[in-house]
Structure 1
Amino acid sequence: MSPEVLILGAGMIGTCAALQLARRGLRVALLDRREPGRETSYGNAGLVQREAVQPYPFPRDAQALGDAAFGRTPAVHWQAGALPALLAPLARYWWHSAPQRHARISAAWSALIAHSQTAHADLIAEAGAGDLIRPGGYLQVFRSAPALAQAAAKAQSLASAHGLEHQVLDARRLQALEPALHPGPAGAVHWQQPWAVRDPGALVQRYARRLERLGAPLLRGDAMTLEPWGEGWRVHADEAGWVHAPRVVIALGPWSAALTRRLGYRLPLFVKRGYHLHHRGPATGPGLRLPVLDAECGYVLAPMAAGLRLTTGAEFAPLDSPPTPVQLARASACARELIELGEPLEAEPWLGNRPCSADMLPFIGEAPRHPGLWFDFGHGHQGFTLGPVSGTLLADLMTGAPPLVDPRPYAPARI
């Protein structure tokens, strides 16, 4: 086996990086300890979010800071033991979230988001995955009239600046669109361009099958065995043994920090954990048609092939610490105010980790001190949305093609 590029990590980001390189004729191999799409890319709300033109900033006003610090909503939860290790990256996250800095970061972020659906559409067509995609957008539901009015004004501003399609729904129009919801919310912002994916892990697997048809092997192995070898790199695969290549891409999501640290990089990375649990949904009458973000409680309800998926906000905790599904219980109580959830369909909730950077931008490009070492990680909440376009930019840089967008904001050497 003699690949030109080894890609480590078979989530949405790594699988798309491998696929975009293979589509350009490079010999690639994709390695992970599990099957494609079984880690972070499996347990999300399943949205390809064209409207997500701003990354989530660290809260800066007193009300939002208090809500986060004291857990007054299900949106944020802290494990106390995680705070010492998180203080430095969170301090930088807070600094980068100042309005002027966040605006500059959002300009770079939205440049990728603008191409996200086009890049997905190409791969969906090639992978024969159209049956997994449900157009129609999602609903950002607000319980109070003041919160709805504030969100409507922000939505109009973002729509004007970025060409986004949306509607503001009052309580009556929301009830007509989603009769499965209980009366009570003041209304919703209906973001119309996003796509819902009925099985996020299955979409990654379809992309991986397309990659195999292009001749790329899917290898099982431990990415932490990566080491320099001659003028390139090698990693140990379970069945193939040592696999060598002149170039390697680290696309390990939340596990990228551990591997890059071994190679001498101290990147300001941290994780936001999240949980999900599937429910049966309403026993009678219509089910939920569109995904719903309960904006004031900070969770998402998404109709999936496996059931009605309840997903949580962000938990700040060490990567491998035991689960503490406090948010899930609180989100479940909030969700039952909006809809008949029905019984849970799993005995235990799923837990995953979002790979976040302190400046809210991913690392895409060649490592500054190791020839042939490339990074593609740190996409925060939007790795599922950004996988194909991130892979496109990476492939542009690795092949010398004109880059789709200015690559400088995402360069690993920036920090």
Structure 2
Amino acid sequence: MKYDVLVLGAGMVGVSCALHLQAKGKSVALFDRQEAGQETSFGNAGIIQREAVRPYGFPRALSVIGTAATNRRLDVRYHASALPRVAGPLLRYFNHSAPAAYEKIAADYASMIAMSIDTHADLIKAAQAESLVEKQGWLMLMRSQKNLEAAFAEADTLQREHGVNHRKLNQQQLAELEPGIAKGQLVGAVHWTDPWTLRSPGDLVKAYAELFNRRGGEMLFGDALTLEKTAAGWQVRTRDGETVTAAEVVIALGPWTTKLTERFGFAPPMFVKRGYHMHYAALPDRKLNHWVLDEERGYLIAPMKNGLRLTTGAELALIDSPSTPKQLIDCEAIARDLLPIGDRVDPEPWKGARPCMPDMKPVIGAVPDVPGMWCAFGHGHQGFTLGPATGELLAALMTGEKPQIDMQPFSAGRRF
């Protein structure tokens, strides 16, 4: 079983890389331990976030740092047991979030986000997946007038500098748009109008994987950690014991990427932000029409195929440590007082992990000093949004073409 390229990882990023390499004429095998779109790409909020031109920086306000340090915030929690492992990357994250450094990072980051809708649109059309997509944007809910005015000002800045479109909603306009939300707790919202939403993000990844198969690609199953270097390139073993070989390999394993690459001398300081979700039944007399973020509390509710999905913020923990969904439980109590959510649908909360880099940018390109190994990981909160853009950019690099944007800021050889 010989291919030009072996792509390890069948989430949104890996599937997108496989499709774009295939479009360049490469024979590609897509390799994972399970079907496409079953890990982080399955459990996210289901938004293609065209508005997310500024990555999540480390908070600088002492009041925020103080409440985070004492584990009293809803939007971020941590495991004390993880601190020895993540302290170094978090310190770098803090330093990169200083105003001058952050502004340069945000400019680089925005160049990729600007590609998000167009690159998804091409694949959605080719995959005949239009029925999965809604184009009504999402709402950022605000509870205080001061924060609403600040949000309006920031939205105006993003529109002026990055072409991000929005509507400003006062309390009455929000109530007219979403009558199912409890009255009186909110003062208004920013309606981000450019993003697209998915009622089942995992289904979109599956649709892309099916397109890959229809175009002659092959999905194979096994343990990516069986990867070995050979004289002719690379090889892995499937769970059926077959050997798969390729001249080049792309590592797109999300939060598990460095577990593999460190064997070949590449161990950048990645850390994970875990997140949880739970589905709830809708209330018969109240409806939620849009994806809504309770910005000042730190959770999001989305009307998904399986029910209303509540997704949490960040939990700083080791990737395989036991589930601790208290963050979700605390957010649920607040959400019930505001939004039309009924009984729990899922037997247990879903848990996933976002692969994060200290400088908030994904890692895309050739692995230093390892000929034939490429990588695409570290997208933080935006792997679902940036998958197709990543695939297009990596395929250009791997085939000697000029990428649409400057790729040096995203290179694997940069200083993290």
Alpha-carbon shift at residue 330 of structure 1 (Å): 0.8
List aligned pairs for 1:239-318, cutoff 5 A: 239=240, 241-285=242-286, 287-318=287-318
How large is the RMSD of aligned CA atoms in angstroms?
Answer: 0.9
List aligned pairs for 1:228-247, cutoff 5 A: 228-239=229-240, 241-247=242-248
Report the equivalent of 1:208.
Answer: 209
1:311 corresponds to which letter in structure 2?
Answer: T
Report the equivalent of 1:49.
Answer: 49
Q: Is the 8 A contact 2:8 2:253 kept in 1?
A: yes
Q: Distance in 1 between matches of 2:403 and 2:50?
A: 20
List aligned pairs for 1:30-41, cutoff 5 A: 30-41=30-41
List aligned pairs for 1:88-167, cutoff 5 A: 88-167=88-167
SS at match of 1:4: strand
Alpha-carbon shift at residue 70 of structure 1 (Å): 2.2
Which consecutive unaligned segments of at least 5 residues does structure 1 have? none
Q: Does 1:364 align with 2:364?
A: yes
1:114 corresponds to which letter in structure 2?
Answer: A
TM-score (norm 1): 0.98
Alpha-carbon shift at residue 260 of structure 1 (Å): 1.2
Report the equivalent of 2:24.
Answer: 24
Q: Distance in 2 between matches of 1:104 and 1:9?
A: 30
CA offsets, 1:368-390, max 9 Å, x none? 11100001000000000000000
SS at match of 1:321: coil
Q: Distance in 1 between matches of 2:267 and 2:358?
A: 12
SS at match of 1:300: strand
Q: Does 1:217 align with 2:218?
A: yes
Q: Distance in 2 between matches of 1:176 and 1:67?
A: 35
Alpha-carbon shift at residue 266 of structure 1 (Å): 2.2
Which consecutive unaligned segments of at least 5 residues does structure 2 have? none
Alpha-carbon shift at residue 337 of structure 1 (Å): 1.9
CA offsets, 1:279-331, max 9 Å, x none? 0022213x211100000011100011111000000000001001000110011
How many residues matched? Answer: 414
Q: Distance in 1 between matches of 2:125 and 2:240?
A: 32
Where in structure 1 do 4 or more consecutive aligned residues deviate above 6 Å?
none
Report the equivalent of 1:169.
Answer: 169
Alpha-carbon shift at residue 21 of structure 1 (Å): 0.7
Q: Does 1:4 align with 2:10?
A: no
Identity of aligned residues (%): 50
Q: Is the 8 A contact 1:180 1:282 kept in 2?
A: no
Q: Is the 8 A contact 2:294 2:300 kept in 1?
A: yes
CA offsets, 1:106-152, max 9 Å, x none? 11110000011000000000111111101110000011111111111
Q: Does 1:185 align with 2:186?
A: yes
SS at match of 1:42: helix
SS at match of 2:282: coil
Alpha-carbon shift at residue 240 of structure 1 (Å): 6.1
1:200 corresponds to which letter in structure 2?
Answer: P
Report the equivalent of 2:58.
Answer: 58
2:374 corresponds to which letter in structure 1?
Answer: W
SS at match of 2:40: coil
TM-score (norm 2): 0.98
Q: Distance in 2 between matches of 1:108 and 1:126?
A: 29
Q: Distance in 2 between matches of 1:361 and 1:163?
A: 21
SS at match of 1:346: coil
Q: Distance in 1 between matches of 2:73 and 2:81?
A: 20
Q: Is the 8 A contact 2:288 2:340 kept in 1?
A: no
Q: Distance in 2 between matches of 1:191 and 1:340?
A: 21
SS at match of 1:309: strand
Alpha-carbon shift at residue 227 of structure 1 (Å): 1.2
Q: Distance in 2 between matches of 1:337 and 1:376?
A: 41
Q: Distance in 1 between matches of 2:93 and 2:377?
A: 17
